[in-house]
């Protein structure tokens, strides 16, 4: 593969993926297609100008997509509306980008016979009970809870149908919760780190017992690259690094690593339909493709993430007030 089209490459995971590929395959030319919504930022691609081009545009724009797809060897589709809380406020944007956008891309890939990789989430499987010994596997039934998760589930099902009916050369990955640099400050971990840096208390939804399965974003990138280059067409791979933690435990660790008193947080109103627990069984990816996560020390990864937000205040500070105002308005 010499040329890749990466949608959503100016967002959190997409930009980390672009950086990862430029490091391991410096000769590959990457075109990023990104609308630069509030979650996209051209600064996420700073210092990557050689062999990386940013096209500002919408994945729902058929004529633009049909220009970009045929001149690339593969499409890696990260672009999405990605935040559950936002999806409860404005679901129609999620239907448009996550479903119509995916449809537009797979139609173009079908037309030009282009390899397609679909980046998705473990949220399509719904929630697990806290005491359930089971984890999600590629055979788990789809049972999404939020508008975000439902639109991601819909997009996965479109891809599966295009593989079966039209022979689309596609793979799908469903990953657990990512953390690391360049994550938008609306999301749990960066919101709490930046709250503390601004002198505000971290906010814990509900009783803090909800569990997420944390993975470092660079481990997500290495898994997507392996699936793109060695995955079997038509297959779904689950990506996770055995990182289950409840939200209270994550807050406790952030407080400790940032030298705060252990009671310096507050409980706030819970999210509507808040899923209790996600957990990934990544056996298929490990056994069939030999993937292993590298960043398994969560304490170290979290500390480095805290340092990144400390050292890159210019990246997030101007948005902080507006993000918190939006959270306040949501509560009303």
Nearest of 87, 132, 39, 96 to residue 273 by alpha carbon: 87
Q: Look at residue 119 and give the partner it binds from ligand DAU, ligand NAD, none, a contact being a CB closer than 5 to 8 Å depending on partner kind.
A: ligand NAD
Does 267 participate in catalysis according to the annotation?
Answer: no
Kindly identify the residues of this chain, within the stretch 64-93, that bind ligand DAU according to CB under 6 A: 82-84
Kindly identify the residues of this chain, within the stretch 107-146, that bind ligand NAD according to CB under 6 A: 119, 121
Does 53 participate in catalysis according to the annotation?
Answer: no
Stretch that binds ligand DAU, among 22-30, 133-141, 199-207, 288-296 (CB under 6 A): 199-207
Sign of CA dihedral 158, 173, 226, 303: positive
Q: Look at residue 78 and give the partner it binds from ligand DAU, ligand NAD, none, a contact being a CB closer than 5 to 8 Å depending on partner kind.
A: ligand NAD
Alpha helices in the chain (DSSP H): 12-24, 62-68, 84-89, 91-94, 102-112, 147-166, 188-197, 217-230, 247-257, 283-289, 298-311, 313-331
Does 27 participate in catalysis according to the annotation?
Answer: no
Does the footprint of ligand DAU cover residue 173 (CB under 6 A)?
no
Sign of CA dihedral 46, 47, 48, 54: positive
Kindly identify the residues of this chain, within the stretch 102-161, that bind ligand DAU according to CB under 6 A: 121-123
Kindly identify the residues of this chain, within the stretch 32-71, that bind ligand NAD according to CB under 6 A: 33-37, 39-40, 58-60
Nearest of 203, 198, 196 to residue 256 by alpha carbon: 196
Q: At what angle do helices 298-311 and 188-197 cross, to 10 degrees?
A: 50
How does DSSP assign 253-293, residue by residue? HHHHHTT--TT--EEEPPPTT---B--B--HHHHHHH----
Active site residues: 122-123, 148
Q: Which residues bind ligand DAU (CB under 6 A)?
A: 82-84, 121-123, 176-177, 187-188, 191, 203-205, 210, 212, 247, 271, 278
Q: Which residues bind ligand NAD (CB under 6 A)?
A: 7-8, 10-14, 33-37, 39-40, 58-60, 78-82, 97, 101, 119, 121, 152, 175, 177-178, 184
């Amino acid at each position: 593969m010499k040329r890749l089209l990466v949608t959503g490459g100016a967002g959190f995971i997409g930009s980390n993926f672009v950086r990862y590929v430029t490091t391991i395959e410096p000769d590959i030319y990457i075109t990023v297609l990104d609308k630069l919504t509030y979650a996209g930022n051209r600064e996420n691609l700073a210092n990557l100008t050689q062999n990386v081009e940013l096209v500002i545009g919408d994945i729902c724009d058929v004529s633009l997509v049909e220009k970009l797809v045929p001149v690339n060897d593969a499409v890696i589709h990260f672009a999405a509306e990605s935040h559950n809380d936002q999806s409860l406020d404005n679901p129609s944007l999620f239907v448009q980008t996550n479903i119509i956008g995916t449809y537009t891309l797979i139609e173009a890939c079908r037309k030009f016979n282009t390899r397609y990789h679909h980046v998705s989430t473990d949220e399509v499987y719904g929630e697990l009970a806290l005491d359930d010994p089971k984890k999600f596997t590629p055979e788990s039934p789809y049972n999404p809870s939020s508008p975000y998760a439902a639109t991601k589930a819909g997009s996965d099902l479109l891809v599966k149908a295009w593989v079966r009916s039209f022979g689309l050369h596609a793979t799908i990955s469903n990953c657990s919760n990512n953390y690391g640099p360049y994550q938008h400050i609306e999301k749990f971990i960066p919101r709490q780190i930046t709250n503390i840096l601004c002198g505000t208390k971290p906010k814990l939804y509900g009783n803090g017992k909800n569990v997420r399965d944390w993975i470092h974003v660079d481990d997500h990138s290495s898994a997507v690259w392996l699936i793109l280059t060695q995955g079997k067409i038509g297959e779904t791979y689950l990506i996770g690094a055995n990182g289950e933690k409840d939200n209270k435990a994550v807050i406790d660790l952030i407080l400790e690593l940032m030298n705060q008193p252990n009671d310096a947080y507050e409980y706030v109103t819970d999210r509507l339909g808040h899923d209790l627990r996600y957990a990934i069984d990544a056996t298929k990816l490990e056994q069939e493709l030999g993937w292993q996560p590298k960043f398994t020390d969560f304490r170290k990864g979290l500390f480095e993430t805290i340092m990144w937000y400390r050292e890159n205040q210019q990246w997030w500070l101007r948005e902080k007030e507006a993000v918190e105002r939006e959270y306040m308005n949501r509560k009303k």
